[in-house]
Amino acid sequence: MKLRYLGHSGVSLEVAVGGRGFEVVIDPFVTGNPKRGVELASLRPDYVLVTHAHGDHWGDTPALAKEHGATVVGTAEVATYAGGLGLRSHGMNVGGRHEFGFGAVRLTPAWHSSSFPDGTYGGMPTGMVLEVGGLRLYHAGDTGLFSDMRLIGRLGLDVALLPIGDNYTMGPDDALEAVELLEPRLVVPIHYDTFPLLKQDAAAFARRVESETDARCLVMRPGDEADLEALLAQPA
Ligand code: NI
Ligand code: MN
């Protein structure tokens, strides 16, 4: 399974299931992102997963879903909003899990807020646990640290995408605590450096993850790609 980092909290996953290829995009914020790592035209999603309605996560969802007929997955409120724009959508809520063609999605709590750029209420902010390509991957969305991350960790996480930008979300210190609760095999920091307010030393965070926890840490620059199976198969 290929993971591509779009920049900010955006990632694209490419996976083959039963001979069919799927592209799943999470929180695509490309247009207007000063640190974008990809061109919007390089994304061809079958599904667009949205952790919450803020503009830096909802982002290019309408354009991508319209162009490619992708299904928008998020809270009931996010799905209703997408449906109102004429987009295909699937609404869920915190604690629920659903099987899609590419794998399963479970919505997890996130301590944050969620409203669309036009002020419409977006429901609860969420994180997401994906079961895809034989791996379990947690995208925390925007959140502060919370102790129930321990429960998410009990699912057995291969990969955790965690915000480290501080101010609106966890900073590096709390993200390190999150790694201890989640116990993933691999950590990928997100939601930092996009704007001056979110400036962080990701390399320093990675060194701390690797010296203070059992997890490995992969710092991705916007546009970077990683083969997750190959990466996880390497000895620590
Ligand atoms: Ni947000
Ligand atoms: Mn955000």
Residues of the chain falling short of pLDDT 70: 236
For residue 138, the CA-to-ligand 2 centroid distance in Å is: 16
Count of residues for the chain?
236
For residue 27, the CA-to-ligand 2 centroid distance in Å is: 9
Query: With contact defined as beta carbons under 8 Å apart, do 42 and 58 qualify?
Result: no
CATH number of the domain to which 213 belongs: 3.60.15.10
pLDDT value, residue 36:
93
pLDDT value, residue 234:
84
- Domain boundaries, position 17: 2-221
Q: What is the pLDDT of residues 56-86, one digit of tens each?
A: 999 999 999 999 999 999 999 999 999 999 9
CA atoms within 13 A on the CB side of 227: 4
The domain tally of the chain equals 1
For residue 94, the CA-to-ligand 2 centroid distance in Å is: 18
- Beta-carbon contacts of 64 under 8 Å, excluding residues fewer than 6 positions away, are 25, 28, 40, 43, 45, 48, 70
Six token digits for residue 105 = 């999605």
Residue type (1 letter), 41: A
Domain assignment of residue 228, yes or no = no
Q: In what order do the strands lie in the sheet with 126-132?
A: 97-99, 103-109, 126-132, 135-139, 159-163, 186-190, 216-217
Domain assignment of residue 70, yes or no = yes
pLDDT value, residue 236:
65
pLDDT value, residue 44:
98
Query: With contact defined as beta carbons under 8 Å apart, do 142 and 54 qualify?
Result: yes
Domain assignment of residue 93, yes or no = yes
Residues lying with their CB under 5 A of ligand 2, a single-atom ion = 56, 142
Domain assignment of residue 235, yes or no = no
